Amino acid sequence: MTKWRSRETGSRSARAFLGVLLLLSPLHAQSPSSSAPLVPELQRAEANWAHASTALRAAEEEAQKAEEKVERLRALYARGLVARRDVEWAELEAQTARARLAAAQEVERLAREALARVREYAERAAERERQQHRVARALVRVARSYGQGRFTMSDLAALMRAYERRFGLPLPISAFGQTPTHHRLGLDHRGRVDIALHPESEQGRWVIEYLAQRGIPYIAFSDEIPGSSTGAHIHIGLPSLRK
Protein backbone atom coordinates (compact mmCIF):
# COMPACT_ATOMS: atom_id res chain seq x y z
CA MET A 1 0.00 0.00 0.00
CA THR A 2 2.89 2.37 0.83
CA LYS A 3 4.43 1.78 -2.61
CA TRP A 4 1.10 2.51 -4.28
CA ARG A 5 0.79 5.77 -2.31
CA SER A 6 4.34 6.73 -3.32
CA ARG A 7 3.53 6.15 -7.00
CA GLU A 8 0.37 8.22 -6.63
CA THR A 9 2.32 11.06 -4.99
CA GLY A 10 4.94 10.92 -7.74
CA SER A 11 2.23 11.08 -10.40
CA ARG A 12 0.67 14.11 -8.75
CA SER A 13 4.08 15.80 -8.50
CA ALA A 14 4.59 15.23 -12.20
CA ARG A 15 1.20 16.78 -12.95
CA ALA A 16 2.06 19.73 -10.73
CA PHE A 17 5.35 20.20 -12.60
CA LEU A 18 3.47 20.11 -15.89
CA GLY A 19 1.13 22.76 -14.52
CA VAL A 20 4.09 24.98 -13.66
CA LEU A 21 5.38 24.66 -17.21
CA LEU A 22 2.00 25.67 -18.57
CA LEU A 23 1.96 28.67 -16.27
CA LEU A 24 5.35 29.86 -17.46
CA SER A 25 4.99 29.07 -21.16
CA PRO A 26 3.23 32.33 -22.17
CA LEU A 27 6.20 34.37 -20.97
CA HIS A 28 8.52 32.98 -23.62
CA ALA A 29 6.28 34.13 -26.46
CA GLN A 30 5.69 37.66 -25.23
CA SER A 31 7.15 40.86 -26.56
CA PRO A 32 6.73 44.28 -24.95
CA SER A 33 6.59 45.95 -28.39
CA SER A 34 2.80 46.15 -28.37
CA SER A 35 0.24 45.95 -25.60
CA ALA A 36 -2.52 44.44 -27.76
CA PRO A 37 -0.99 40.91 -28.02
CA LEU A 38 -0.30 41.03 -24.27
CA VAL A 39 -3.95 41.42 -23.31
CA PRO A 40 -4.84 37.69 -23.61
CA GLU A 41 -1.52 36.78 -21.97
CA LEU A 42 -2.32 39.10 -19.06
CA GLN A 43 -5.79 37.59 -18.71
CA ARG A 44 -4.31 34.08 -18.81
CA ALA A 45 -1.69 34.98 -16.20
CA GLU A 46 -4.36 36.47 -13.93
CA ALA A 47 -6.51 33.35 -14.32
CA ASN A 48 -3.50 31.10 -13.62
CA TRP A 49 -2.67 33.01 -10.45
CA ALA A 50 -6.30 32.95 -9.28
CA HIS A 51 -6.43 29.19 -9.87
CA ALA A 52 -3.11 28.66 -8.09
CA SER A 53 -4.29 30.77 -5.13
CA THR A 54 -7.48 28.72 -4.85
CA ALA A 55 -5.50 25.49 -5.03
CA LEU A 56 -3.13 26.77 -2.35
CA ARG A 57 -5.98 27.56 0.05
CA ALA A 58 -7.42 24.10 -0.54
CA ALA A 59 -4.03 22.49 0.11
CA GLU A 60 -3.63 24.50 3.32
CA GLU A 61 -7.02 23.34 4.56
CA GLU A 62 -6.25 19.74 3.59
CA ALA A 63 -2.90 19.80 5.41
CA GLN A 64 -4.45 21.32 8.52
CA LYS A 65 -7.22 18.70 8.62
CA ALA A 66 -4.68 15.90 8.09
CA GLU A 67 -2.55 17.16 11.00
CA GLU A 68 -5.60 17.45 13.25
CA LYS A 69 -6.61 13.89 12.33
CA VAL A 70 -3.15 12.60 13.29
CA GLU A 71 -3.31 14.33 16.66
CA ARG A 72 -6.81 12.97 17.29
CA LEU A 73 -5.87 9.37 16.39
CA ARG A 74 -2.68 9.53 18.45
CA ALA A 75 -4.75 10.50 21.47
CA LEU A 76 -7.17 7.64 20.81
CA TYR A 77 -4.29 5.19 20.30
CA ALA A 78 -2.81 6.22 23.65
CA ARG A 79 -6.11 5.23 25.24
CA GLY A 80 -6.18 1.95 23.30
CA LEU A 81 -9.22 2.88 21.26
CA VAL A 82 -7.67 2.56 17.76
CA ALA A 83 -5.04 0.38 16.18
CA ARG A 84 -1.49 1.50 15.47
CA ARG A 85 -2.20 0.92 11.77
CA ASP A 86 -4.83 3.67 11.82
CA VAL A 87 -2.31 6.14 13.26
CA GLU A 88 0.33 5.23 10.68
CA TRP A 89 -2.16 5.61 7.85
CA ALA A 90 -3.18 9.06 9.13
CA GLU A 91 0.52 10.05 9.40
CA LEU A 92 1.07 8.97 5.78
CA GLU A 93 -1.93 11.04 4.69
CA ALA A 94 -0.56 14.05 6.60
CA GLN A 95 2.84 13.61 4.94
CA THR A 96 1.17 13.51 1.52
CA ALA A 97 -0.88 16.60 2.37
CA ARG A 98 2.28 18.47 3.39
CA ALA A 99 3.91 17.53 0.08
CA ARG A 100 0.85 18.78 -1.82
CA LEU A 101 0.95 22.01 0.20
CA ALA A 102 4.62 22.58 -0.64
CA ALA A 103 3.90 21.99 -4.33
CA ALA A 104 0.89 24.34 -4.22
CA GLN A 105 2.98 27.03 -2.53
CA GLU A 106 5.62 26.78 -5.24
CA VAL A 107 3.06 26.88 -8.05
CA GLU A 108 1.36 29.92 -6.49
CA ARG A 109 4.71 31.70 -6.15
CA LEU A 110 5.62 31.03 -9.77
CA ALA A 111 2.16 32.10 -10.97
CA ARG A 112 2.38 35.30 -8.92
CA GLU A 113 5.82 36.13 -10.32
CA ALA A 114 4.67 35.32 -13.85
CA LEU A 115 1.70 37.67 -13.44
CA ALA A 116 3.97 40.45 -12.17
CA ARG A 117 6.25 40.07 -15.20
CA VAL A 118 3.35 40.10 -17.67
CA ARG A 119 1.90 43.18 -15.97
CA GLU A 120 5.27 44.90 -16.18
CA TYR A 121 5.64 44.05 -19.89
CA ALA A 122 2.08 45.22 -20.58
CA GLU A 123 2.63 48.53 -18.79
CA ARG A 124 5.89 49.14 -20.63
CA ALA A 125 4.22 48.38 -23.96
CA ALA A 126 1.25 50.62 -23.13
CA GLU A 127 3.57 53.47 -22.14
CA ARG A 128 5.52 53.03 -25.37
CA GLU A 129 2.29 53.20 -27.36
CA ARG A 130 1.21 56.32 -25.47
CA GLN A 131 4.58 57.93 -26.18
CA GLN A 132 4.41 57.05 -29.87
CA HIS A 133 0.86 58.37 -30.06
CA ARG A 134 1.87 61.68 -28.48
CA VAL A 135 4.81 62.05 -30.86
CA ALA A 136 2.75 61.15 -33.94
CA ARG A 137 -0.06 63.47 -32.91
CA ALA A 138 2.32 66.35 -32.28
CA LEU A 139 4.36 65.85 -35.46
CA VAL A 140 1.34 66.25 -37.70
CA ARG A 141 0.44 69.45 -35.81
CA VAL A 142 3.69 71.36 -36.22
CA ALA A 143 4.04 74.20 -38.72
CA ARG A 144 7.32 75.94 -39.40
CA SER A 145 8.82 78.58 -41.64
CA TYR A 146 12.47 79.58 -41.87
CA GLY A 147 11.53 82.86 -43.56
CA GLN A 148 14.62 84.95 -44.20
CA GLY A 149 16.46 83.09 -41.46
CA ARG A 150 16.88 86.03 -39.08
CA PHE A 151 15.10 87.33 -36.00
CA THR A 152 16.21 90.43 -34.06
CA MET A 153 15.14 92.23 -30.91
CA SER A 154 13.79 95.08 -33.07
CA ASP A 155 11.56 92.47 -34.80
CA LEU A 156 10.30 91.40 -31.40
CA ALA A 157 9.66 94.98 -30.26
CA ALA A 158 7.67 95.70 -33.42
CA LEU A 159 5.62 92.51 -32.92
CA MET A 160 4.89 93.44 -29.30
CA ARG A 161 3.60 96.89 -30.30
CA ALA A 162 1.51 95.52 -33.17
CA TYR A 163 0.00 92.76 -30.98
CA GLU A 164 -0.96 95.19 -28.21
CA ARG A 165 -2.58 97.56 -30.73
CA ARG A 166 -4.52 94.65 -32.26
CA PHE A 167 -5.71 92.90 -29.11
CA GLY A 168 -5.26 95.50 -26.36
CA LEU A 169 -3.09 93.11 -24.35
CA PRO A 170 0.67 92.54 -24.00
CA LEU A 171 2.20 89.81 -26.13
CA PRO A 172 2.26 86.72 -23.83
CA ILE A 173 5.98 85.89 -23.90
CA SER A 174 6.59 82.65 -21.98
CA ALA A 175 10.33 82.25 -22.65
CA PHE A 176 12.89 84.90 -23.57
CA GLY A 177 16.18 83.29 -24.52
CA GLN A 178 17.57 80.42 -22.47
CA THR A 179 15.42 79.09 -19.60
CA PRO A 180 15.75 76.21 -17.10
CA THR A 181 13.16 74.27 -19.12
CA HIS A 182 15.22 74.56 -22.31
CA HIS A 183 18.36 73.65 -20.37
CA ARG A 184 16.63 70.54 -19.05
CA LEU A 185 15.54 69.62 -22.59
CA GLY A 186 19.12 70.09 -23.82
CA LEU A 187 18.18 72.95 -26.17
CA ASP A 188 20.09 76.15 -26.91
CA HIS A 189 17.29 78.73 -26.89
CA ARG A 190 19.44 81.83 -26.92
CA GLY A 191 18.18 84.47 -29.34
CA ARG A 192 14.77 82.80 -29.52
CA VAL A 193 11.43 83.67 -27.97
CA ASP A 194 8.40 81.52 -27.08
CA ILE A 195 4.90 82.94 -27.18
CA ALA A 196 2.22 81.32 -25.00
CA LEU A 197 -0.45 81.18 -27.69
CA HIS A 198 -2.07 78.20 -29.34
CA PRO A 199 -1.33 78.40 -33.09
CA GLU A 200 -4.96 77.62 -33.88
CA SER A 201 -6.38 80.40 -31.70
CA GLU A 202 -7.33 83.78 -33.16
CA GLN A 203 -4.32 85.46 -31.57
CA GLY A 204 -2.04 82.60 -32.58
CA ARG A 205 -3.13 82.73 -36.23
CA TRP A 206 -2.62 86.50 -36.27
CA VAL A 207 0.94 86.16 -34.89
CA ILE A 208 1.81 83.46 -37.43
CA GLU A 209 0.48 85.59 -40.30
CA TYR A 210 2.45 88.57 -39.00
CA LEU A 211 5.68 86.57 -38.87
CA ALA A 212 5.13 84.95 -42.27
CA GLN A 213 4.48 88.29 -43.99
CA ARG A 214 7.77 89.66 -42.64
CA GLY A 215 9.88 86.58 -43.29
CA ILE A 216 10.55 85.98 -39.59
CA PRO A 217 11.31 82.30 -38.84
CA TYR A 218 8.96 80.48 -36.49
CA ILE A 219 7.77 77.05 -35.39
CA ALA A 220 4.14 76.63 -34.32
CA PHE A 221 3.58 73.75 -31.90
CA SER A 222 -0.03 72.67 -31.47
CA ASP A 223 0.81 69.98 -28.93
CA GLU A 224 3.53 68.50 -26.76
CA ILE A 225 6.54 66.84 -28.40
CA PRO A 226 8.62 64.87 -25.90
CA GLY A 227 12.13 66.28 -25.77
CA SER A 228 11.26 69.36 -27.85
CA SER A 229 8.08 71.06 -26.65
CA THR A 230 6.23 70.97 -23.36
CA GLY A 231 2.98 72.12 -24.97
CA ALA A 232 1.28 74.33 -27.55
CA HIS A 233 3.13 77.59 -28.26
CA ILE A 234 4.77 79.64 -31.00
CA HIS A 235 8.56 79.58 -31.15
CA ILE A 236 10.02 82.67 -32.84
CA GLY A 237 13.47 82.35 -34.39
CA LEU A 238 15.40 79.54 -35.98
CA PRO A 239 15.03 76.07 -34.41
CA SER A 240 16.87 75.65 -31.10
CA LEU A 241 20.06 73.65 -31.44
CA ARG A 242 20.81 70.59 -29.35
CA LYS A 243 23.57 71.13 -26.84
Contact 97, 6 (CB under 8 A): no
Percent of the chain with pLDDT over 70: 78
- Mean pLDDT over each residue of the chain, to the nearest integer: 82
Highest mean pLDDT among 33-47, 57-71, 183-197, 215-229: 57-71
CATH of 2-138, picked from 1.10.287, 1.25.40, 1.20.58, 1.10.3470, is: 1.10.287
Q: What is the tens place of the pLDDT at every residue in 67-81? A: 999 999 999 999 999
Please state the rounded mean pLDDT for residues 58-71. 96
Residue 7: is its pLDDT beyond 70? no
Global pTM? 0.46
Helix H, strand E, coil C: the string for the chain is CHHHHHHHHHHHHHHHHHHHHHHHHHHHCCCCCCCCCHHHHHHHHHHHHHHHHHHHHHHHHHHHHHHHHHHHHHHHHHCCCCCHHHHHHHHHHHHHHHHHHHHHHHHHHHHHHHHHHHHHHHHHHHHHHHHHHHHHHHHCCEEEECCCCCCCHHHHHHHHHHHHHHHCCCCCEEEECCCHHHHHHCEECCCCEEECCCCCCHHHHHHHHHHHHCCCCEEEECCCECCCECCCEEEECCCCEEC
Please state the rounded mean pLDDT for residues 85-108. 96
Q: What is the tens place of the pLDDT at every residue in 150-202? A: 898 999 999 999 999 999 999 999 988 888 887 788 888 888 999 999 998 99
Rounded to whole angstroms, how far apart are CA atoms 187 and 242? 5
Most distant pair of Cα atoms in the chain: their distance: 111
Residue 173: CB partners within 8 Å, gap ≥ 6?
Answer: 193, 194, 195, 196
Q: Residue 218's pLDDT is what? A: 92
Please state the rounded mean pLDDT for residues 206-215. 93
Flag the least confident range among 113-117, 133-137, 144-148, 215-219: 133-137
Residue 88: is its pLDDT beyond 90? yes
Rounded to whole angstroms, how far apart are CA atoms 225 and 135? 6
Beta bridge partners of 235: 194, 219
Q: Residue 30's pLDDT is what? A: 43
Q: Residue 21's pLDDT is what? A: 43
Residue 243: is its pLDDT beyond 60? yes
Dihedral of CA atoms 153, 158, 164, 167 in degrees, nearest 10, equals: -120
